[in-house]
Structure 1
Amino acid sequence: MNQSYANVEPSRAEVDALPGLTLVEFGTPWCGFCKAAQPLLADGLADAPGLRHLKIEDGSGRPLGRSFRVKLWPTLIFMRDGKEIGRVVRPESAALVRRELQQAQAAKL
């Protein structure tokens, strides 16, 4: 699990080209909801050591977040081979994150 938000974001085309299972997390380091979600994410993602986790700093005018229609932070987008297969907005429990991860791992495209 990434600990820091990247303030330089990849392009949407780069994210869409990623093979395998990817979690794209949108938020900011100063967001209270984002800070509160970090222990839940750490617990919920603990059984997924091979998961690609992109932690992207979002904000007004940031094209990647807008391309995913992100409105609230944190927003977690689970992708497989460049396709969105699940989304969690402001997770309230590690169990919710774990359940969404399991569904993403089982999803067939």
Structure 2
Amino acid sequence: MPQTLPYKEHQLTRDEIDALDEAVVLDFGTDWCGHCNAAAPLVAAAMSAHAGVRHIKVEDGPGRRLGRSFSVKLWPSLIFLRKGREIARLVRPGKQEDIVQALQALESAA
């Protein structure tokens, strides 16, 4: 099973995220969140087959501007972006297939 990584406290700014030229999955949550911990192996397994997609785990919470700029309300929230444009969003994903479908949509977006 793929290894899951911790959420990172240091965050990129919204401008830095919007300027990324690559396919990106922003994964908002916290290491202590039960829903995040349950989804983490599903996300890691889905991401393992999509090496061309950058996975950025962002620790979210009060006072964290990046999550607010994406209107994140529940964890985990996965936001699939290409060149700053949202292609898909999953909130509390429970099936690996849903993540794979969103990744496929992201990779096929121009």
TM superposition score normalised by structure 2: 0.93
Secondary structure of residue in 1 paired with 2:86: strand
Give me the whole-angstrom Cα distance separating, in 2, the residues matched to 1:5 and 1:57.
5
- CA distance in 2 between counterparts of 1:2 and 1:8 reads 18
1:1-109 correspondence to structure 2 within 5 Å? 3-108=5-110
Q: What percentage of aligned pairs have identical amino acids?
A: 47
Runs of 4+ in 1 over 3 A off after TM superposition: none
Cα drift, residue 51 of structure 1: 1.2
SS at match of 2:44: helix
Letter of the structure 1 residue corresponding to residue 59 of structure 2: E
1:50 to partner: Cα distance: 2.1
1:74–1:89 CA contact under 8 A, matched in 2 = yes
8 A Cα contact 2:8 2:57, kept in partner: yes
Supply the distance in 1 between the matched residues of 2:29 and 2:108 (Cα, whole angstroms). 26
| Structure 2 residues not aligned, in runs of 5+ | none
Cα distance, 1:4 vs structure 2:
1.5
What is the distance in 2 between the residues matched to 1:2 and 1:13? 27
Q: In structure 1, how many angstroms separate the alpha carbons of the residues matched to 2:86 and 2:70?
A: 9
TM-score w.r.t. structure 1 length? 0.94
**Structure 1 regions of 5+ residues with no counterpart?**
none
